[in-house]
Amino acid sequence: MFWGKIMTILKNKAFGVAAALLVAATVSPAYASSGNGTASVKILRAITVTKSSDLYFGKILPSATASTVAVAESGARTCGASLGCYDTATSGAFHVVGTSGEIVSVSLDSASTTLSDGASHSMTVNLATSTTALTLTGGAGDFKVAGTLNVGASQADGTYTGQYSVSVNYQ
C-alpha cells in the first residue's frame, strides 16, 4: 500500500507537470502585426538654360561727373544725370526648360560683374534677377536680368563687355 500511495502521488505530480506543459504550449504569444511601405521616385528632366537676350545698356555719352545707367527687367532704361543715352536697351533674358510643374530657384553667381574695353578701362555692373523662384509651367519658364552700370567721370570711349552667370536648380 505504501508503494501504491507513492505511485498515486507521482502520477498526480506527473499529471500536474504535463498539464502545466500543455497550458504553456497552448498560450498564444503576444500579438504581432506587419505593414507594407511604398518606395517611389520621380525622375526629373535635366534643366537647360538658354540666353534669349543680352543685358545691353545702349550707347552712353559720359560727362565730367560719374553717374549710373539702369536697365530694368522690363528693358526700360534710366539714364543718370548729365549722361546721354542712345539706342534701345534690353534686359538680359533666359529661357529655362525642365520638368513640368516643378519649381526651380534662380540666382546670379555674383551680384556684380566688371565690363572692360580690353585695355585698362572698366566699369562695374550691379545685377539683379526678376525672380528667385520659377514654376516650370508646361516644362518651361523665363526670367530676366536687370543691371545698374556705374559710369565713371569722363569714362574712356570703347566697347565694354563682361560676363555674368546664372544658376537654376530644382527646389
- How high is the pLDDT of residue 22? 47
Query: Above pLDDT 70, what percent of the chain?
Result: 83
Confidence of residue 31 (pLDDT cuts 50, 70, 90): confident
Q: What is the pairing mode between strands 77-79 and 122-129?
A: unpaired
Alpha-carbon distances of 34 from 31, 37, 39, 102, rounded to whole Å: 10, 10, 17, 35
Query: Above pLDDT 90, what percent of the chain?
Result: 81
Give the dihedral of Cα atoms 10, 15, 18, 20; nearest 10 deg.
Answer: -110
Confidence of residue 30 (pLDDT cuts 50, 70, 90): confident
**Mean pLDDT, residues 81-93 taken together:** 97
Q: Which one is predicted more confidently, 18 or 158?
A: 158
3-state secondary structure of 4: helix
